[in-house]
């Protein structure tokens, strides 16, 4: 390892910076071990010994969406129907990682579309959310990707997606506002019309009955 300057400034004492060649020779777990070493005086202690391995497994799971194709998810369950009313799957749990700080954000996703001859299996909306959420994300892009994937798969009259999420990069650091939430929407086709948009938003605000 070599000590290098960052932006012309001398590094803080005790923090060694790997040069690019050194980083490329590192295994993934060795890189995590190096990160831990910079913040903890004893990275070999019992509680940290297997942490690099655990981080690697956790991040492999939390970014598994990169290895999944949304087309495979949706095209496995497309059905012809004579139905042209709004289909809504709401309150889909979502967990993702902010691409800016790699801290979690989490919340609910509401998906709606008006069919034009085809529908997707009800379980496929949550699966589609999972594919895009298990990546390094920003909420705005995630919202749009879900809507566009459904639009491309079944060409409905329109698609609406709303995400309500809380971001730990705002809650744990920065402004530290624990009760803040972010709401984003993507409206395609007929959902851009005021009456359709209003119907969708009204329906997702309704409380779900606890019994049928």
- Give the residue numbers annotated as catalytic, written as ranges: 98-101, 139, 167, 169
Whole-number Å distance between alpha carbons of 71 and 150: 9
Give yes or no for a contact between 6 and 17, defined as CB atoms under 8 angstroms apart. Answer: yes
Strand partners, 65: none
Q: How far apart are CA 122 and CA 89, in angstroms?
A: 7
> Residue 33 pairs with which residues in a beta bridge?
none
3-state secondary structure of 167: strand
CA dist., res. 102 & res. 155, Å (int): 34
């Amino acid at each position: 390892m070599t000590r290098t300057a960052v932006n012309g400034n001398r590094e803080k004492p005790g923090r060694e910076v790997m040069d690019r060649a050194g980083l490329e020779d590192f295994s993934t777990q060795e890189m995590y071990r190096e990160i831990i070493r910079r913040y903890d005086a004893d990275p070999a202690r019992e509680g940290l010994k297997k942490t690099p391995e655990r981080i690697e497994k956790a991040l492999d799971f939390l970014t598994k969406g990169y290895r999944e194709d949304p087309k495979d998810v949706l095209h496995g369950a497309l059905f012809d129907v004579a139905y042209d009313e709004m289909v809504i799957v709401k309150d889909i749990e979502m967990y993702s990682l902010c691409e800016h700080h790699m801290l979690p954000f989490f919340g609910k996703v509401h998906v709606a579309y008006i069919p034009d001859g085809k529908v997707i299996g009800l379980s496929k909306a949550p699966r589609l959310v999972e594919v895009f959420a298990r990546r390094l994300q920003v909420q705005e892009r995630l919202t749009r990707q879900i809507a566009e994937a459904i639009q491309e798969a079944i060409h409905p009259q329109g698609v609406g997606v709303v995400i309500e999420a809380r971001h730990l990069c705002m809650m744990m650091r920065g402004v530290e506002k624990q009760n803040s939430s972010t709401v984003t929407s993507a409206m395609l086709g007929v959902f851009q019309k005021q009456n359709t948009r209003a119907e969708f938003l009204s329906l997702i605000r309704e409380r779900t009955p606890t019994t049928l």
